[in-house]
Amino acid sequence: MANLSTKIKLYANQEIDFSKDVILQDDSNGQGPYIKEWNLDIAKPTDAQLNAYEAQATTYENNEKIKATRKALYGAWDKQLEEIYDNGIDSWKARIAQIKADNPKENS
């Protein structure tokens, strides 16, 4: 199940500051998080509107995890540049292509 914050980002179609734009709260009562405060200039979404973003939000979150995995496997830029200098661009491109193949993004 996708995070409420992700669904809100997709609904609003903008970056959200969850310390002032939208305040979420979880009362630890088994109901999960909810919107405590809505300070955006667009209408506050209903639960049904947010639930309509479930599949898209799940894909977004899964792809964010894949991007983080890829980034870690790519290594720091300076190391990548050394790799290109030492082994050539084709070797580097092959390694990057393999990382992408091993860690494919989901289609939106």
**For position 59, what pLDDT does the model report?**
97
pLDDT at residue 108 greater than cutoff 90: no
- Indicate the pTM of the whole model: 0.82
- Band of residue 52 on the pLDDT scale cut at 50, 70, 90: very high
Query: What is the mean predicted confidence (pLDDT) over 71-87?
Result: 97
| Mean pLDDT score across all residues of the chain | 96
With tokens 């091993």, the residue in question is: 102
**Percentage of the chain exceeding pLDDT 90:** 97
SS3 38: strand
**For position 96, what pLDDT does the model report?**
97
Q: Are 2 and 53 in contact (CB under 8 A)?
A: yes
Query: What is the mean predicted confidence (pLDDT) over 42-61?
Result: 97
Q: Distance between CA atoms of 70 and 67, rounded to whole angstroms?
A: 5
